[in-house]
Amino acid sequence: MEYQHLDRVDSPEDLRSLPSKKIPELNLEIRDFLIRNTVEHGGHLASNLGVVELSVALHRVFDSPRDHIIWDVGHQSYVHKLLTGRRRQFRDLRVPGGLSGFTKRSESEHDAFGAGHSSTSVSAALGFARADALSGNGAYTVAVIGDGAFTGGMVHEALNNVAPDMRLIIILNENEMSISRNIGTFARYIARIRSSKSYNRVKKNTTSVLRRVPLVGKPLFRLGRWTKKLFKNLIYHSNFFEELGLFYIGPIDGNDYGMTERALRYAKMKGEPVVIHLHTKKGKGYEPAEKDPCGYHGVAARPSDESTFSRAFGDALSELAGRDERVTAVTAAMGVGTGLEDFAGRYTDRYFDVGIAEEHALTFSAGLAAAGMRPYVAVYSTFLQRAYDSIVHDIALQGLPVHIMVDRAGLAVSDGPTHHGIFDVAFLSHIPGITLYAPVSFGSLRAIMEKTRDASTTVAIRYPNRAESCEINAAFYPDGDYENFGIRAYKTEDADALVITYGCIVSEALAAAELLRKEGVRLGILLLEELKPYDLVSDKIANLIGEGRPIVFLEEGVYDGGAAMLLAERLGERGCLGSGHRILAIRDHFASPESACDLLAYCGIDRASIVEAVKGLLSKVDKN
């Protein structure tokens, strides 16, 4: 597809040279490009359609990379990428080693700060603004943050440290959505500011009148700012941002290009910390996304009606809640993503969406558990990292029966390193008192949830973002006996070598077994659906494997501190590894390739790597 204006924009300089009257046509071309490419290849669509005007205005008003534009989360930075020379790379968007779906410093000098998690932009922006103030280089820093991300506690910690000498502009992009619709007191407050016509009319009219007074207009305007604030406080009250000493502009229509650019130029002229409050429409310009911004937040190739582990968890939790009034569900703005829509509708008083606040979600759940409830916290593995202290200090240390449901476990092939769920096993494994499970089927997920419902300590259950595998079920649950989970065996009796693994990466082990069978090598597999306590699991494994066969440990997670390392250590102490062993896991990197590739192969945990490891171990046995 050829575009009259977009094809000529390979840098912010090209954009600034475009006549102002052509900007509306450019905006239409950008939306067409986003829809065509994202619908075809997948990606975040609705959020990017909403910030077209803002993105174009930012790069016409500010001088990136000298000025720093920092996008919160980063999933709404597609237009920014288009305008900074990455249009031709969109064919590899969200492919491992291709164009990242988020901002990434190594990808472009225009990506001032990498992001993938929410609510980091204001803290990072303060760091840039303070560094610029110290160096005296006169650069501006702009943080673009949504009202959903504004519910995150880090934002308010950062606002507490804003200083008047900073050339800092915070753009609050209110679209009333994060992924799900925003919930909470602050989200309602933001909407109330926007809807308060009387507040904005007084502010606008007072400024306009004072500026037109001859001779004494400007001095009176400066005095008038104090008088106006006092008058407004008495009648309409001040707003949150002005109380913090930030100059507030808005709310304005962020999809009106002219208004948006004027607001940015005015904020730049102020030379002090400014908040610009924009109201944009998520999915703007694409009717399906406007009607269903939640459904079009992320566009994927997978059919929307396909059953996933998230939905299976949500269904199972609803069943438990129907039988146990203590069961509650907690999510940090990810109710839809974690499969809790049905639970939210059926058990409204026991469903808690706390906003983008994972730390609070876990400690809140600790409070629920301490008061006698049975909370299930549904959180993506990558976001669970943000609540580590809450798990250690508030939950595990007190031995509280909180269920931590770890969604999106394993590699996030499309979203990349900011979303890989590869650290949770390692950091949960060394916390005392936690039991850790990794079901590979919907049936075993339900069985584990049922068995642990009355557990007296903390339970973590991890599962991937995918449907269950018929192949895995056939290999490990041919009889459908999901109640008998724990350790499942596949062709281990007369095997020449064994693979010990957990999670859905076992499909690679099954494929490797088939490849080796064709070469006359018999490979058995032990699938672990219970990982911790490791001493107990190691005893069970030792009883099953005996001695004399080499073992490959396979893990879709980090090597250091991971389950494979811990199990190998314990099995070695029991004398079970005399014929040699190898650990295939992600070793000391973030699984972030620089060029397009197969991610499992890049990490050395694919079927070919298993075959190579098995052959290498068997050859050593033969030599001995």
CATH number at residue 356: 3.40.50.970
> What is the separation of C-alpha 262 from the centre of its chain, rounded to a whole number of angstroms?
33
Whether 316 and 386 share a structural domain: yes
User: Residue 166 falls within a domain, yes or no?
Assistant: yes
**Cα torsion through 54, 56, 58, 61, rounded to 10:** -130
Whether 179 and 64 share a structural domain: yes
Digit-coded pLDDT (tens) for 276-321: 999 999 888 877 777 777 766 666 644 455 799 999 999 999 999 9
> Given this model, what pLDDT does residue 224 score?
46
> Given this model, what pLDDT does residue 41 score?
72
> Catalytic site residue 105?
no
Say which residue the tokens 């088939």 belong to: 514
Whether 209 and 262 share a structural domain: no
Kind of pairing, strands 581-586 and 551-558? Answer: parallel
The encoded tokens of residue 156 equal 């308010």
Distance, CA of 526 to CA of 612 (rounded, Å): 19
Whether 166 and 202 share a structural domain: no
Whether 383 and 423 share a structural domain: yes
> Catalytic site residue 228?
no
Domain count of the chain?
A: 4
Kind of pairing, strands 523-528 and 487-490? Answer: antiparallel
User: Residue 304 falls within a domain, yes or no?
Assistant: no
> Given this model, what pLDDT does residue 222 score?
47
> Given this model, what pLDDT does residue 306 score?
73
> Given this model, what pLDDT does residue 191 score?
56
User: Residue 475 falls within a domain, yes or no?
Assistant: no
> Given this model, what pLDDT does residue 235 score?
40
Note the helical H segments in 356-398: 358-370, 381-384, 388-389
User: Residue 59 falls within a domain, yes or no?
Assistant: yes
Residues ≥6 apart with Cβ < 8 Å to 326 = 372, 373, 374
Whether 595 and 521 share a structural domain: yes
Whether 190 and 201 share a structural domain: no
Whether 344 and 406 share a structural domain: yes
What count of other Cβ atoms lies within 10 Å of the Cβ of residue 218?
A: 12
> Given this model, what pLDDT does residue 285 score?
81
Strand, coil or helix: what is 591?
coil
> Given this model, what pLDDT does residue 233 score?
46
> Given this model, what pLDDT does residue 302 score?
46
Q: Residue 404 is which amino acid?
A: I
Catalytic residue among 282, 374, 462, 488: 282
From residue 9, how far is each of 74, 106, 219 by CA, in Å? Answer: 21, 21, 43
Residues ≥6 apart with Cβ < 8 Å to 205 = none
> Catalytic site residue 386?
yes
**Residues paired with 71 in a beta bridge:** 144
- Is residue 519 within 8 A of residue 546, CB to CB? The reply is no
Whether 412 and 499 share a structural domain: no
User: Residue 190 falls within a domain, yes or no?
Assistant: yes
Positions in the chain short of pLDDT 70: 176-238, 295-305, 624
User: Residue 297 falls within a domain, yes or no?
Assistant: no
> Given this model, what pLDDT does residue 187 score?
56
Catalytic residue among 358, 529, 555, 556: 358
Distance, CA of 564 to CA of 312 (rounded, Å): 27
User: Residue 469 falls within a domain, yes or no?
Assistant: no
Find the distance separating the first CA and the last CA of the chain, reported in whole Å: 63
DSSP string, 99-132: --SS--TTT-TT--S--SSSS-HHHHHHHHHHHH
User: Residue 18 falls within a domain, yes or no?
Assistant: yes
308: DSSP letter: -
Whether 79 and 118 share a structural domain: yes
Enclosing domain of residue 221? 197-235
Distance, CA of 579 to CA of 245 (rounded, Å): 69
Whether 254 and 116 share a structural domain: yes
Whether 344 and 394 share a structural domain: yes
> Given this model, what pLDDT does residue 234 score?
41
> Given this model, what pLDDT does residue 240 score?
81
Say which residue the tokens 């602050």 belong to: 186
What's the CATH number where 573 sits?
Answer: 3.40.50.920
Catalytic residue among 386, 446, 488, 549: 386
